[in-house]
Amino acid sequence: MFRNLLIDTARVSRFAGAECHGKSVFNQMKTSLSGARLMSNKAANMNSTMRLWNGASSNLFLKRSAMIRSNLLYNNSSMISRSLSTTRLNMNQDIKIGRKNTNFRQSSNTVAYWLIGTSGLVFGIVVLGGLTRLTESGLSITEWKPVTGSLPPMNQQEWEEEFIKYKSSPEFQQLNSHITLDDFKFIFFMEWIHRLWGRAIGVVFLAPAIYFAARGRTSPHVNKRLFYLCSLLGLQGFVGWWMVKSGLDQKQLDERKSKPTVSQYRLTTHLGTAFVLYLGMLWTGFDILKENKWLKDPTKSLELFKKLDSVKLGPLRKMSVFLLGLSFITAMSGGMVAGLDAGWIYNTWPKMGETWFPSKRELMDENFARRDDKKDLWWRNLLENPTTVQLVHRTFATAAFLSVLYVHMYAIKKKPYIPKNAQTSLHALMGVVTLQALLGITTLLYFVPVHLASTHQAGALALVTVSLMFMNQLRKPRLQIKNVINSSMASQLKNSVNGGTAKRIMTEASKLAK
């Protein structure tokens, strides 16, 4: 009877929630134990009865029948013991079944380190791309050969041929007609290394992505992100060539009334996709490390989840998203400054020349409008007039600095509600934004020297990195992670029931059965 009861309960509990299951098995074990006690008491009574009978009568028949009854009760007791083992077995099976049902797979830390490492390569190529632009090397390779272009010219003849191609470009004809083959070799190598680095990132990203996905080292959630990142990486190559073309095509240059440089729109798009790629890799890497850490220590994680769920943290979470967005937009407005060489005018700070702001006539110059009705006056000046574009960048930069300062002060008041690592990131963010603003100002005051401009660009990447970290540390856990951690806690409860209390129950039951 007890055995059936136990098996039934175990079956039912297989379909019940983990916590509920643990409790029901526990209760059921308790029931079994009282049953065992009851039976055992009965056995003890029977034994004493038997002894009584033994003493009172030497009737063999009675003695035998008493022994039979006693054995029967003994068998019942060991049956209970067996039932308890069956229940324990079922519980272990349930833990496995539970895991299977949630179909949960988490990416390994190796994947995270690979992603963060690859994002480092993207950081490097952005800085190198900036150097290529600042040394005016970006238009030296006039063709796009994704595979065969991997090799540079190998002999004098090949160099001469490459130089002849460059000589037909607008940049050579209008700006660089004085350069020698040796000068050309330098600008060629700058651009060639940039392109080769891009190809290397393609290989370093794509091959391991396929390997990790095929070996099941990545979760479906991460696989999706890897797919998007791969697509973005491929797109980045096209955007790069699309940008370079805008500086090689005389027709486009005439349309823009520009000297031979790439379009500021395309440069900023190229910079933007690089930033998104970089942030996407970092974000995914950070997420994996964070979630693995949570899964390792569910008790600590639940404490953190409580903090992250607090309504007091809501506004700061929104602010963190805003800060990342603002840092990104400021960086993109910097791309526009770089694309238009707008760092070469108004090399003063905080004033722009003699006044705080240039005149309205200068900021909204009619010469920039292309339509007869001048309806495009505003946006063309905002995006194409170097004076206005510089003012826009100054404005965004000031807003970014003040916003970080505000959030920093706000966070001091809310300190007890903010996770420790987010507090540290916010301090770092305050430091990085200050440095970045100072770097920008120095770059401007010193007429855009290559080393300062390049450091300023790296500073922009550092700023979005820390903003991303801050935002990431305030994010609530995914529902799936929450569920897994909750059921992991339930499993721990089960195990403690299984390994602790149940053991005691088992010992007692076995003792009673003897």
Altogether, the residues listed in the chain come to a count of 514
Q: How far is the CB of 323 from ligand HEM (least distance, A)?
A: 11
Of 331 and 485, nearer to ligand HEM (C-beta) is: 331
Give the pair of three-digit tokens for residue 102.
């949630």
Give the pair of three-digit tokens for residue 205.
């990203």
Of 66 and 397, nearer to ligand HEM (C-beta) is: 397
Q: What distances in angstroms separate CA 260 from CA 225, 226, 254, 263, 349, one per listed residue?
A: 38, 37, 9, 9, 29
Q: What distances in angstroms separate CA 237 from CA 202, 242, 397, one per listed residue?
A: 9, 9, 29
For the chain, the distance separating the N- and C-terminal CA atoms, rounded to the nearest angstrom, is 20
Estimate the crossing angle of helix 377-384 against helix 264-296, to 10 degrees. 70
Query: How far is residue 386's CA from residue 33's CA, in Å, rounded to a whole number?
Result: 85
* Interior/surface letters 96-133, b for 16+ CB within 10 angstroms, e for the rest: eebeeeeebebbbeebbebbbebbebbbebbebbbbbb
Q: How far is the CB of 214 from ligand HEM (least distance, A)?
A: 37
Q: How far is the CB of 329 from ligand HEM (least distance, A)?
A: 9
Of 83 and 268, nearer to ligand HEM (C-beta) is: 268
Give the pair of three-digit tokens for residue 233.
């990486």
Give the pair of three-digit tokens for residue 219.
């979760």
Collapse the DSSP code of 369 into the 3-class scheme (helix H, G, I; strand E, B; otherwise coil) and give the result: coil
Q: How far is the CB of 201 from ligand HEM (least distance, A)?
A: 18
Give kind and range of the element (H or E) at residue 336: helix 314-339
Q: How far is the CB of 303 from ligand HEM (least distance, A)?
A: 35
Q: How far is the CB of 339 from ligand HEM (least distance, A)?
A: 8
**Tokens 């380190």 sit on residue:** 113
Q: How far is the CB of 458 from ligand HEM (least distance, A)?
A: 9
- Cis, bond preceding 350 (omega within 30 deg of 0): yes
Q: How far is the CB of 400 from ligand HEM (least distance, A)?
A: 5
Of 104 and 241, nearer to ligand HEM (C-beta) is: 241
* Interior/surface letters 219-256, b for 16+ CB within 10 angstroms, e for the rest: bebbeebbeebeebbeebbebbbbbbbbbbeeebbeee
At 246, phi and psi to the nearest 5? Answer: -65, -20
Collapse the DSSP code of 355 into the 3-class scheme (helix H, G, I; strand E, B; otherwise coil) and give the result: strand
Of 98 and 130, nearer to ligand HEM (C-beta) is: 130
At 177, phi and psi to the nearest 5? Answer: -65, -15
Contacts of 289 (CB under 8 A, 6+ apart): 109, 112
Of 66 and 448, nearer to ligand HEM (C-beta) is: 448
Of 273 and 488, nearer to ligand HEM (C-beta) is: 273
Q: How far is the CB of 441 from ligand HEM (least distance, A)?
A: 5
Of 261 and 457, nearer to ligand HEM (C-beta) is: 457
Of 62 and 345, nearer to ligand HEM (C-beta) is: 345
Of 398 and 501, nearer to ligand HEM (C-beta) is: 398
Query: How far is residue 73's CA from residue 346's CA, in Å, rounded to a whole number?
Result: 101
Dihedral (CA of 80, 83, 85, 91) sign: negative
Of 113 and 446, nearer to ligand HEM (C-beta) is: 446
Q: How far is the CB of 454 from ligand HEM (least distance, A)?
A: 7
Collapse the DSSP code of 352 into the 3-class scheme (helix H, G, I; strand E, B; otherwise coil) and give the result: strand
Give kind and range of the element (H or E) at residue 241: helix 220-248
Of 31 and 403, nearer to ligand HEM (C-beta) is: 403
Q: How far is the CB of 194 from ligand HEM (least distance, A)?
A: 13
Q: How far is the CB of 397 from ligand HEM (least distance, A)?
A: 3
Write out the residues near ligand HEM by the rule CB under 6 A: 130, 133-134, 271, 327, 330-331, 334-335, 337-338, 343, 349, 393-394, 397, 400-401, 433, 436-437, 440-441, 443-444, 448, 453, 456-457, 460, 463
Give the pair of three-digit tokens for residue 493.
């409860």
